[in-house]
């Protein structure tokens, strides 16, 4: 590649595109280096459905209002206080102007999806989901003259003192070296590198499924951390949920999630229950089940429900395994039949009055005298046919990342790297220490992608 | 009335994935209809297939298209079922295969029709008569075209009754029909939920090109139809005979109608050459193209015929034009021409199920 670039943007997801578009609009010559082939462009962003947006009064598809303080309080709740408040406020405040900016750059919104009414006030849904968003941004970027290279995997950034002096990538089987004036890293986390996950988590991680793209392997992240660029978070932190055990290893996306746990009992491969399935409403609990399942033998779980619960939750991609008796179901699922029978019998015996059962509220219909208890929606499993799903841990993203400041700039020691910015998943750990708030990933990517693009362009234009 | 099980099964497989995803909910009427169900009967799938306008929004936005193993291509799966549903409901059933051979059937009928008209206009040329009637008497034209128009419509009515039963439709309410007509009139489902249009000729770029060309075709056809009807009324009710002047109702309706139909079909054919055939039913492509071209020839020969009034060319232009019209009429129940009827039925059915919202 003989051309010279002002700015190289590493990655092809939401954060990368927001940065590239902003920089190109500021007059910079921009190249996007996307590791994935075109059909898989867009990283984890192609799997998303909404972003969380502050707003004072109705805005686009969003109803009522959602203030900065309420947004921040929601964030502090899920992270248990482990939030960088300064950066979080930057993300929250800017989210409001992001929505019209997104519309101006081709993104279209739709009303909150059926089954997700609880998010109608806080989260703006993309029409066609994240791939629709990514498609629109690629079209906009192309119109602005941004060059996009697919199957262009960045292998190394060379740091000398406080600058990145070149970067190496492969493209169409060849190695290339370019010397851009500025670099924006937006290449996501490292969750698709299961060896790295296994080093942090132990061998159990080999059994995890990766919900999103196989291309986020943390190559650039590792390369920069090795060269002393400031790190944030630790490699054991990741967002993981329990998903259908039959999901593909990568890219299963949203359709593999299972919402039936509150109406079920969940057992491990010894057919024993291990946690209160009815602790809270599912949106508040689904993120802990990834870790719960990860802690079980072989990292698998099995959800058992009966006929009366089948229509209480959103359908998922694979039909449940079905049988006329508990023993037959155990057989089909590879569980010890007598043990499952005993577990179900014990659970059923512990159920009491179910007349107050209410599927969408904490109904207090609880078990008595078993451990672990089921504290809501505890109805005996008695009505054939019986249904089962297997569960595995599905990793959404990792938190280990590059530490950035309010201008999205990376640093070495306490000095900024003069021409290096980071946006999106790869720096999200700078804001969230743990936990996750639905729709905040895309907010971080959009806000800091735009900041990084603007700063990088200013740097390139000045030099 | 047997539909192909594997086509339905494939559409059902995909619909179940969409039902777990729902990201495309806002694009069209198909998704809200789909999300209402948990399990899909054959009738449900047939209904969804005829509701789908093949706008392709849900293909380009889908994170599960090939090479992903889920291999989503809902526009194609529904197009295949749709095409099959028209064949399965064709009456008499023996003609169903014409759907697969529309091009051949049209060419054959066209030659036959032309030959017949030519022979009649030469052999049974009236003693007196002005304009076209110098070649063929009004009585003879009516004797040919009244049955050629009404019999296919009757056959189509039988098909539609069968279709209505398949999708479990109930009594037809006027309000539902009105809702369907309003939706078809604006081609709401080719607008995309955002109003930016559909994806067709240039991958994931949204445009109104297809919608606008279809509008031209649809309204052009309706104007031409109205023109002929007004002529019939003038003839039988008011005793005013053709040829009609430029400012008569048949001409005021027919000229813009013919022009719109010409432009619309030319545009649709052009777009079709640029679009990815893999997002429709590939086996139906030829027949669809033949249908678009037939409509083009109907309108083009009609306009040329008008321009050629009084010249010797009328001797062969008239039979050619009448031959194309005859072909179009006769094949209505067994060609793409049937789509308007089935789609109206699907929109009506949908309106009856979601009374408060537009379809
Ligand atoms: C199933 C699923 C659903 C989700 N739903 C939501 C949601 O609804 N709302 C929300 O806010 N968040 C959601 N998230 C989280 C969200 O996806 C991320 O927060 C967000 O997409 C991160 O954007 P990004 O641009 O930083 O990374 P990505 O979109 O993952 O982009 C990273 C890019 O970097 C490329 N890349 C990686 N390594 C290299 C390399 N060495 N060289 C070149 N390119 C490289 C990748 O190919 C990819 O294009 C979801 C995640 C998943 C998995
Ligand atoms: C009555 C309501 C009608 C509806 C709802 C309707 C709907 C549609 C839709 C959704 C398409 C695109 C998808 C497809 O190819 O199947 C289409 C294509 C088409 N329609 Fe219609 N239509 C109607 C009436 C008509 C009429 C009256 C005509 C003209 C006689 C017409 C002519 C065409 C043509 C030529 C195509 C293009 C086929 C192609 O590209 O392959 N339509 N119609
Ligand atoms: S077409 Fe794809 S993105 Fe759209 S609803 Fe279906 S599965 Fe989801
Ligand atoms: S192709 Fe268009 S009309 Fe058909 S289902 Fe997809 S989005 Fe709806």
Across the range B229-256, mean pLDDT stands at: 90
Q: How confident is the model at residue A315 (pLDDT cuts 50, 70, 90)?
A: confident
Total domains, chain B: 2
pLDDT tens digit sequence for A124-154: 999 999 999 999 999 999 999 999 999 999 9
pLDDT at position A115 is 76
pLDDT at position B358 is 66
Query: What proportion of chain A, given as a percentage, has pLDDT over 70?
Result: 99
Q: How confident is the model at residue B139 (pLDDT cuts 50, 70, 90)?
A: confident
Checking if the pLDDT of A395 tops 50, the result is: yes
CA A294 from centre of chain: 17
**A462 or B101, which is more confident?**
A462
Supply the ipTM of this predicted assembly. 0.95
Region of residue A83 (left: phi > 0; alpha: psi -120 to 50; beta: else): beta
Residues B76 and B119 in one domain: no
Of B17, B27, B70, nearest to A128 by CB-CB distance is B27
pLDDT at position A131 is 98
Is B61's CB within 8 Å of A132's CB? yes
Return the half-sphere exposure (C-beta side, CA atoms, 13 A cut-off) of residue B353.
23
pLDDT at position B359 is 67
Pocket mutation for ligand 2, best pick of B197, B218, B332 (most atoms within 8 Å of C-beta): B218
Rounded distance between C-alpha atoms, residue B229 and residue B146, angstroms: 12
Secondary structure element (H or E) that encloses residue A326, with its range: helix A326-333
pLDDT at position A210 is 98
Residues B30 and B117 in one domain: no
Q: How many CB pairs under 8 A join A and B?
A: 85
pLDDT at position A1 is 45
Q: Whose CA is nearest to atom 8 of ligand 4?
A: B28
Q: Which ligand gives the minimal distance to the CA of B346?
A: 2
Q: How confident is the model at residue A332 (pLDDT cuts 50, 70, 90)?
A: very high
Residues B70 and B116 in one domain: no
CA dihedral A177, A181, A185, A187 (to 10 degrees): -40
Rounded distance between C-alpha atoms, residue A53 and residue A440, angstroms: 8
Min Cα–Cα distance to chain B from A187, Å: 19
Of B24, B63, B67, nearest to A46 by CB-CB distance is B63
Rounded distance between C-alpha atoms, residue B9 and residue B3, angstroms: 11
Ligand 2 pocket by Cβ (under 6 Å): B 53-54, 184, 214, 217-218, 221, 265, 268, 272, 288, 291-292, 295, 336, 339-340, 343-344
Which atom belonging to ligand 2 lies closest to the Cα atom of B265?
35
pLDDT at position B356 is 59
pLDDT at position A2 is 46
3-state secondary structure A62-102: ECCCECHHHHHHHHHHHHCCCECHHHHHHHHHHHHHHHHHH
Residues B44 and B96 in one domain: no
Task: List Cβ neighbours of B209 (8 Å cut-off, separation of 6 or more).
Answer: B197, B200, B201, B267, B271
Rounded distance between C-alpha atoms, residue B191 and residue B188, angstroms: 5
Q: Which residue has the tokens 């990292």?
A: A299
On whether residue B358 sits in a domain, the answer given is no
Q: Domain-by-domain residue ranges, chain A?
A: 7-235+399-462, 240-394
Residues B123 and B66 in one domain: no
Across the range A445-454, mean pLDDT stands at: 98
pLDDT at position B3 is 85
CA A236 from centre of chain: 15
**B108 or B84, which is more confident?**
B84
Rounded distance between C-alpha atoms, residue A243 and residue A47, angstroms: 15
Residues B99 and B64 in one domain: no
Q: In degrees rounded to 5, what are phi and psi of residue B184?
A: -65, -40
Asked if A248 reaches chain B (Cβ–Cβ under 8 Å), the answer is: yes
pLDDT tens digit sequence for B247-296: 999 999 999 999 999 999 999 999 999 999 999 999 999 999 999 999 99
Checking if the pLDDT of B163 tops 50, the result is: yes
Checking if the pLDDT of A89 tops 50, the result is: yes
Which residues on adjacent β-strands are paired with residue A147? A31
Chain A residues 82-111 with a CB less than 8 Å from chain B: 108, 110-111
Give the residue from B61, B87, B113 where a domain finishes. Answer: B87
Min Cα–Cα distance to chain B from A250, Å: 10
Rounded distance between C-alpha atoms, residue A367 and residue A350, angstroms: 5
Q: How confident is the model at residue B130 (pLDDT cuts 50, 70, 90)?
A: confident
Of A129, A139, A315, nearest to B16 by CB-CB distance is A315
Task: Name which CATH class applies to A240-394.
Answer: alpha beta
Tell me the pTM. Answer: 0.96
pLDDT tens digit sequence for A227-261: 999 999 989 888 999 999 999 999 999 999 999 99
Give the residue from B71, B87, B103 where a domain finishes. Answer: B87
Min Cα–Cα distance to chain B from A195, Å: 23
Q: What is the average pLDDT score of chain A?
A: 95
Checking if the pLDDT of A304 tops 90, the result is: yes
On whether residue B198 sits in a domain, the answer given is yes
pLDDT at position A436 is 87
Give the residue from B42, B68, B87 where a domain finishes. Answer: B87
pLDDT tens digit sequence for A182-235: 999 999 999 999 999 999 989 999 999 999 999 999 999 999 999 999 999 989
The CATH superfamily assigned to A7-235+399-462 is: FAD/NAD(P)-binding domain (3.50.50.60)
Q: What is the DSSP string of A20-58?
A: HHHHHHTT--EEEE-SS-GGGTTGGGGG--EEE--BSS-
Asked if B202 reaches chain A (Cβ–Cβ under 8 Å), the answer is: no
CA A94 from centre of chain: 21
Q: By residue range, what is the domain housing residue B67?
A: 5-87
pLDDT at position B121 is 85
Min Cα–Cα distance to chain A from B53, Å: 16
């Amino acid at each position: 590649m003989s051309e010279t670039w002002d700015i190289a943007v590493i990655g092809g997801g939401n954060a990368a595109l927001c940065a590239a578009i902003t920089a190109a609009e500021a007059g910079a010559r921009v190249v996007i280096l996307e590791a994935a082939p075109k059909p898989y462009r867009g990283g984890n962003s192609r799997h998303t459905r909404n972003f969380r947006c502050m707003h004072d009064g109705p805005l686009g598809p969003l109803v009522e209002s959602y203030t900065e303080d309420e947004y921040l309080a929601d964030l502090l709740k899920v992270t248990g206080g482990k939030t960088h408040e300064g950066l979080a406020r930057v993300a929250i405040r800017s989210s409001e102007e992001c929505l019209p900016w997104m519309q101006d750059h081709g993104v279209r919104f739709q009303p909150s999806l059926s089954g997700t009414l609880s998010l109608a006030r806080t989260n703006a849904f993309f029409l066609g989901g994240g791939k629709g968003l990514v498609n629109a941004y690629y079209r906009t970027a192309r119109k602005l003259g941004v060059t996009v290279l697919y199957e262009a995997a960045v292998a190394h950034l060379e740091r000398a003192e406080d600058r990145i002096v070149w970067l190496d990538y492969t493209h169409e089987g060849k190695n290339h070296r370019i010397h851009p004036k500025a670099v924006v890293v937006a290449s996501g986390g490292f969750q698709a590198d299961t060896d790295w996950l296994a080093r942090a988590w132990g061998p159990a991680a080999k059994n995890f499924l990766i919900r999103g793209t196989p291309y986020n392997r943390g190559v650039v992240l590792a390369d920069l951390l090795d060269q002393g660029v400031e790190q944030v978070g630790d490699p054991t932190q990741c967002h993981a949920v329990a998903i259908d055990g039959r999901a593909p290893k990568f890219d299963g996306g949203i359709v593999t999630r299972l919402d039936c746990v509150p109406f079920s009992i969940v057992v491990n491969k010894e057919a024993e229950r291990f946690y209160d399935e009815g602790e809270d409403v599912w949106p508040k609990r689904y993120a802990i089940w990834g870790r719960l399942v990860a802690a079980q033998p072989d990292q698998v779980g099995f959800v058992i429900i009966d006929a009366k619960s089948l229509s209480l939750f959103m359908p998922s991609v694979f039909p449940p395994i079905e049988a006329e008796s508990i023993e037959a179901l155990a057989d089909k699922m590879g569980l010890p039949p007598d043990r499952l029978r005993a577990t179900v019998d014990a659970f059923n015996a512990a159920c009491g009055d179910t007349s107050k059962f209410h599927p969408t509220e904490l109904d207090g219909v609880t078990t008595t005298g078993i451990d672990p208890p089921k504290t809501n929606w505890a109805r005996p499993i008695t009505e054939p046919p019986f249904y089962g799903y297997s569960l595995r841990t599905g990793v959404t993203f990792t938190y280990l990342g590059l530490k950035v400041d309010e201008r999205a700039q990376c640093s070495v020691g306490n000095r900024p790297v003069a021409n290096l910015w980071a946006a999106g998943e790869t720096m999200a750990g700078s804001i969230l220490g743990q936990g996750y708030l639905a729709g905040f990933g895309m907010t971080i990517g959009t806000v800091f992608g735009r900041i990084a693009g603007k700063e990088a362009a200013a740097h390139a234009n000045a030099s | 009335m047997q539909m192909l099980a594997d086509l339905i099964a494939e559409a059902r497989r995909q619909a179940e994935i969409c039902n777990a995803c729902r990201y495309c909910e806002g694009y069209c009427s198909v998704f809200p209809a789909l999300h209402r169900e948990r399990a899909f009967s054959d009738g449900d799938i047939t209904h969804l297939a005829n509701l789908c306008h093949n706008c392709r929004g849900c293909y380009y936005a889908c994170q599960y298209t090939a090479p992903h193993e889920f291999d989503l291509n809902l526009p194609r799966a529904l197009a295949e079922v749709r095409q099959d549903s028209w064949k399965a409901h064709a009456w008499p059933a023996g003609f169903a295969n014409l759907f697969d051979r529309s091009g051949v059937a049209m060419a054959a009928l066209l030659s036959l029709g032309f030959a017949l008209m030519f022979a009649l206009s030469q052999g049974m040329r009236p003693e007196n008569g002005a304009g076209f009637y110098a070649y063929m008497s009004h009585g003879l034209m009516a004797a040919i075209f009244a049955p050629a128009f009404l019999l296919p419509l009757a056959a189509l009515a039988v098909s539609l009754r069968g279709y209505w039963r398949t999708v479990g439709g109930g009594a037809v309410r006027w309000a539902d029909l009105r809702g369907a007509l309003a939706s078809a009139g604006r081609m709401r489902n080719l607008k995309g939920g955002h109003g930016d249009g559909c994806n067709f000729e240039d991958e994931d770029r949204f445009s109104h090109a297809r919608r606008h060309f279809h509008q031209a075709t649809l309204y052009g056809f309706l104007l031409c139809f109205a023109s002929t009807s007004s002529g019939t009324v003038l003839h039988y009710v008011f005793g005013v005979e053709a040829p009609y002047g430029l400012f008569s109702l048949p001409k005021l309706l027919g000229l813009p109608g013919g022009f719109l139909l010409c432009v619309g079909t030319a545009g649709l054919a052009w777009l079709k050459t640029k679009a990815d055939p893999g997002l429709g039913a590939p086996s139906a492509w030829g027949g669809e193209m033949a249908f678009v071209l037939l409509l083009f020839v109907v309108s083009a020969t009609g306009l040329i015929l008008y321009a050629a009034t009084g010249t010797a060319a009328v001797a062969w232009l008239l039979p050619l034009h009448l031959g194309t019209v005859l072909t179009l009429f006769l094949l209505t129940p067994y060609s793409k021409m049937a789509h308007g009827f089935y789609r109206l039925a699907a929109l009506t059915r949908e309106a009856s199920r979601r009374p408060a919202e537009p379809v």
